[in-house]
Structure 1
Amino acid sequence: MTTDPTKPNMFRDMSSCNTYNYGDALYWDARYVQEAGSFDWYQRYSALRPFVRNYIPTSSRVLMVGCGNALMSEDMVKDGYEDIMNIDISSVAIDMMSKKNEDIPQLKYMKMDVRDMSFFPDDSFDSVIDKGTLDSLMCGTEAPVSATQMLGEVSRLLKPGGIYMLITYGDPKVRMVHLNRPVYCWKTELYIIPRPGFEKPGSCSSSMKSYLEPIPITEDGLLPADFVLEDPDSHFIYVCKKMNHSDLSNLPTYPLSANVL
């Protein structure tokens, strides 16, 4: 049975996603054996393209974490991207995609756990793209530890000035506390886009252009009190730029509280 990624409870934090252990390779191996074909979580590249092209040059060395059997990397190559390393915890997914795209030299595949990417040296990539992988770990066992391990590795692998682009269901209340730890050296901007197929109310005048404008975050790492989500099940795009330590003195940090663990 295929799970619809547009359903609001799919990848909420721990209280809403304990049915499966989404951080477990065995779960994903079984799923990819059962479900043939390609499947893109959350958003397709066509919707994400304005953000990707704005922040990630086509000449970048890109790391796609938790690639699964999605078309995103293939679509990026069609759009001019030259070097994309795809990793996934599932050997089934990696074998499947390696064979499918063996004639596309811009795409490389490797089985790897995002919590330990020590195969790659520091500063290996210009950008890291994550479409639902952090969310998967947040639904697994020892979620906060797994998230810390993964984000620490992402920061280590990014070159100074590099971009970590996270596409997630997690709003700032449950994501900024993880993303804005000083050790990662990230300056973060937030964008919000509706889920695929969302139909705006007739009185709503927003457009795709409005989605391309960053959303201000309060000093507490939250959305402004008067901010209203057009789609209550929107996707959040966090664009995290790796800074030098000297550039981080004025960036806020957000205390970790029990309700986001």
Structure 2
Amino acid sequence: MGGGECKSNDYGAAAYWDARYSSGSPASNAAGGGFFDWYQTYPALRPLLRARVPASSRVLMLGCGNSLLSVDMAKDGYEDIVNVDISSVVIEQMREKHNEIPQLRCNMQMDVRDMSLFGDKSFDCVIDKGTLDAMMCADDAPHGASKMLAEVARLLTPHGIYLLITYGAPKERVPLLNQPGCSWSTTLHIMPTPEYQLKMNKGAPQPTMEEVALTEDGQLPPDYVLKDPESHFIFVCQQVNSVRG
């Protein structure tokens, strides 16, 4: 899904992801004892997470897949992480692998478009590493993506953080984020892809994250030029008002 492009697959369907995690594709590494991290790793994201999300926060990981992000956060002191994914296959894999990590004992099969099992204001932070991108490639896009974001807003505590890591530039994501029912104070950070960092640093990756001031209408400054055309956009969206009283 690099560059925000969508394939012909329905990335919002459980059947697609069940097959993916059961197959020999990179995303199925968990079946063989490994992991597959989409986009950025925890070490690259750690400075931002540590600055904005206290270790005592209750964290919801949307579309967790078989990423190491939750594991690395738990090892780094985060106390309460809930992993959800639409694929029952990968959730079972996560349960088996992380049964001994108390911070990760809650792994649940769930469609992010309907998270009614959780009550309002249940989480201090919601982390989304590519899930909104997948929803924008689902058969019901953009309606399904809008439903997911409404659920995220409902689940966040007042002043809670929605951390969105996406290929979507502000012109593509800000209109979604600003839908009715969502009220955020948003900052943007931009990171080159790990592949670009390896190339530029001759095999010694040095994660670089740049904060970029958005214009009044939530867009990139007109003179801003991406170092890496495949860069990841990291939106830190802080809940401004409680969605439900």
Instruction: Decide: shared fold, TM above 0.5.
Output: yes
For residues 80-159 of structure 1, the aligned pairs below 5 Å read: 80-107=77-104, 108-159=106-157
Conserved 8 A contact 2:44-2:207:
no
Find the residue that maps to 2:96 and give its secondary structure: helix
- What's the offset of the Cα at 1:19? 2.2
Instruction: Give CA deviations for 1:68-90 in whole Å, capped at 9, x if unaligned.
Output: 01110000001000000000000
Residue of structure 1 in register with 2:168 after alignment: 170
In the alignment, which of 14, 18, 21 is matched to residue 29 of structure 1?
18
Find the residue that maps to 2:51 and give its secondary structure: helix
TM-score normalised to structure 2 length:
0.89
Distance (whole Å) between structure 1 residues aligned to residue 135 and residue 239 of structure 2:
22
- What's the offset of the Cα at 1:182? 4.8
Find the residue that maps to 2:171 and give its secondary structure: helix
Distance (whole Å) between structure 2 residues aligned to residue 153 and residue 38 of structure 1:
28
Distance (whole Å) between structure 2 residues aligned to residue 198 and residue 39 of structure 1:
18
- CA-atom RMSD, angstroms? 1.8
Conserved 8 A contact 1:18-1:140:
no
Distance (whole Å) between structure 2 residues aligned to residue 201 and residue 63 of structure 1:
34
Distance (whole Å) between structure 1 residues aligned to residue 38 and residue 216 of structure 2:
31
Instruction: Give CA deviations for 1:177-226 in whole Å, capped at 9, x if unaligned.
Output: 01123521211100000000314769xxxx856x24x2111233221110
User: Structure 2 stretches of 5 or more lacking a match?
Assistant: none
| Structure 2 CA distance for partners of 1:60 and 1:231, relative to 1, 3 Å | same
Q: Does 1:242 align with 2:239?
A: yes
Find the residue that maps to 1:184 and give its secondary structure: coil
Q: Which amino acid aligns with 1:56?
A: V
User: Taking every aligned residue pair, what percent have the same amino acid on both sides?
Assistant: 57
Distance (whole Å) between structure 1 residues aligned to residue 84 and residue 200 of structure 2:
39
User: Structure 1 stretches of 5 or more lacking a match?
Assistant: 1-9, 246-261
Aligned length in residues: 229
In the alignment, which of 158, 161, 167 is matched to residue 160 of structure 1?
158
- What's the offset of the Cα at 1:11? 4.5
TM-score normalised to structure 1 length:
0.83
- What's the offset of the Cα at 1:142? 1.9
| Structure 2 CA distance for partners of 1:78 and 1:48, relative to 1, 3 Å | same
Distance (whole Å) between structure 2 residues aligned to residue 123 and residue 220 of structure 1:
28
Instruction: State the 4+ residue runs in structure 1 displaced beyond 6 angstroms.
Output: none
Distance (whole Å) between structure 2 residues aligned to residue 128 and residue 118 of structure 1:
15
